[in-house]
Amino acid sequence: MRLIIANDDQYINLAQVVTIEEEKSVAFMTDGRRIGIRNVDSAIDLCRLPATAIPAQADYAFLRMLKDKRVEQLPIIAWLIDPLGQEYATMPVTVDGVPRMNDIWAVQQPDGRVVDIGNAIYSSYQEWHDEAVKTLTAPAAKTG
Which bin fits 97, alpha (ψ -120 to 50), beta or left (φ > 0)? left
Predicted TM-score (pTM) of this structure: 0.60
Q: Do 103 and 132 touch, CB atoms closer than 8 A?
A: no
pLDDT tens string 1-42: 444 555 555 666 666 677 777 777 777 777 788 878 766 665
Q: Do 19 and 29 touch, CB atoms closer than 8 A?
A: no
pLDDT tens string 76-102: 988 877 655 445 567 888 888 777 666
Q: What is the phi/psi pair of residue 47, to 5°?
A: -65, -35
- Measured from the Cβ of residue 80, the count of other Cβ atoms closer than 10 Å reads 20
- The CA distance from 73 to 107, in Å, is 9
**Amino acid (1-letter code) at residue 61:** A
- The C-alpha angle 27, 76, 71, rounded to 5 degrees, equals 90
Chain centre to alpha carbon of residue 53: 13
Nearest to 17 by CA among 38, 47, 60: 47
Query: DSSP per residue over 65-77, as a string?
Result: E-TTS-EEEEE--
Specify the higher pLDDT residue, 139 or 68: 68
- The CA distance from 140 to 124, in Å, is 25
